[in-house]
Amino acid sequence: MARPVGHGEDRGAFSWCGAGRPAGVLLLLAAALAGPIGCQQAATYPGWTLQPQYMVTEVEHFRACVHADPEKALPDRMAPETVKVFHEVVNAAYGPSYPGGKAPPVIFRRVWRFFFDTSIYMVHYAGTKSALVLFYNPYSDTAALLRWDETDQGLRVGDAEVLTGDYLRGRQRPPYGPAPGWRAYEGLASAAMAETAYRTAEGFGRTFAALTPPSKEEIEAMNKAEVEGLLGRLADWRSHAPGMAGGQTRKANRVSAGIRLRVNLLALDVLNKAKQRQSLLAAVNTVFGNLAAGRAAQVLSRARETLPATARTIREEDPADWGKQALVSCAVEPGDTAAYVFTTRWDRQNAFVCVTFAPAGAQGTWSPTRIDVVNCREYARLRQKPAAEDAGGAAARREP
């Protein structure tokens, strides 16, 4: 029976059968949110040599290289001091479990493969030869902010930071909890995750709004000293991010992000290996096995709360595509009253599938009750509308 691919200790994040990344894929989620964020921005300014197509190609190539070998891909594009940030994040979460407080290479590879394989990304230009690229992982609610610089050796990552989604959404002082922000919502888990991703992208644009280049006319009206001062300010992104120059806030973000990534991967391990989750795993495999076999009607006959529009999408999907889904997150409510299993695809990382399960009988079995297929970019577009709260199915917070 077909089943979603999982994240093993060192098997690589996905094992797609002939599914490659289409050239030029870029999620401009934030472009719809905050105006200045987006690849098209750079092409409109004199002297802006970092072209959109170049940036997209490089980011996609970087993600592919990290998937192949994170230990090589990061040092190939970053200075040793920058690479240390990624080791610090992993060691903060996993180090206490190993001698010397240092996680083994297999853990480093697994964490960053998972993160970059399943993250959506956004681009904000910050000068004539620099761009901020935000990788956001909605499942763990963690982010990595990389400043790419155009150099004589090509594009290099001149600076990097790892953050919690909370920070970008406005909580710029610790503490940050181990649970992702979407778990703080009531209602549909799929809507909660989409809303959290939307607010994170919106916060990214808000945090770095001051980095937005002026108009072409404004630049042309400046003298040389003013232009040079402007470019220096644009490239100094940390001065626009409170606490990211050092200190407790930066440390807390790195530590909490590492813990969230570990918690997310641990939940997948429990689903795949723990005896108490065998029945849930069997239900997951049955759902995706039937979808991959072209038995969507059988699945939907049980997942009766699935929205009609979503049901149509599921019926129209090529059955072979369901075999390309990968397990990326799992959450079970206290008392096993409900479970949410998330999957995504290598070549569609801006979209995810959420299957909601409920207990079915006294033998610990589970049955699907609802399937949601969410495109984060489309959600952002709908969220802009006056009736977005209804259209997007936004959930209410448990906490203020």
Q: Which residue has the higher pLDDT, 22 or 249?
A: 249
Provide the Cα torsion 354, 360, 365, 367; round to 10°. Answer: -30
> What's the structural domain count of the chain?
2
Are 280 and 361 within one domain?
yes
Of 82, 294, 331, 300, residue with least CA distance to 189: 331
The C-alpha angle 141, 110, 263, rounded to 5 degrees, equals 40
Containing structural domain, residue 277: 270-391
Asked whether the bond before 52 is cis by omega within 30 degrees of 0, the reply is no
* pLDDT confidence band for 213 (50 / 70 / 90): low
Place of tokens 């200790």: 9
Residue 185 has a CB neighbour count (10 Å cut-off) of: 19
* pLDDT confidence band for 263 (50 / 70 / 90): very high
Are 304 and 243 within one domain?
no
pLDDT tens track for 192-207:
999 999 999 999 988 8
Distances 99 to 96, 251, 282, 308 between C-alpha atoms, Å: 8, 22, 36, 53
Are 239 and 129 within one domain?
yes
Mean of pLDDT values over 391-396:
41
Strands 142-151 and 130-137: antiparallel
Are 200 and 347 within one domain?
no
Are 148 and 197 within one domain?
yes
One-letter identity of residue 36: P
Residue 202 neighbours by CB under 8 Å, 6+ apart: 30, 33, 34, 169
Lowest-confidence segment of 81-85, 141-145, 302-306, 361-365 by average pLDDT: 361-365
The C-alpha angle 151, 153, 156, rounded to 5 degrees, equals 60
Tokens of 326: 């990968």
Are 132 and 174 within one domain?
yes
Are 59 and 184 within one domain?
yes
Give this prediction's pTM: 0.83
Furthest CA-CA distance within the chain:
76
Strands 120-125 and 130-137: antiparallel
Are 308 and 261 within one domain?
no
pLDDT of residue 21: 27
Are 199 and 299 within one domain?
no
Q: How far apart are CA 359 and CA 337, in angstroms?
A: 7
pLDDT tens track for 69-126:
999 999 999 999 999 999 999 999 999 999 999 999 999 999 999 999 999 998 876 6
The answer to whether residue 399 is domain-embedded is no
End residue of a domain, out of 266, 290, 317: 266
End residue of a domain, out of 245, 266, 287: 266
End residue of a domain, out of 212, 232, 266: 266
Task: Indicate if the pLDDT at residue 333 is higher than 60.
Answer: yes
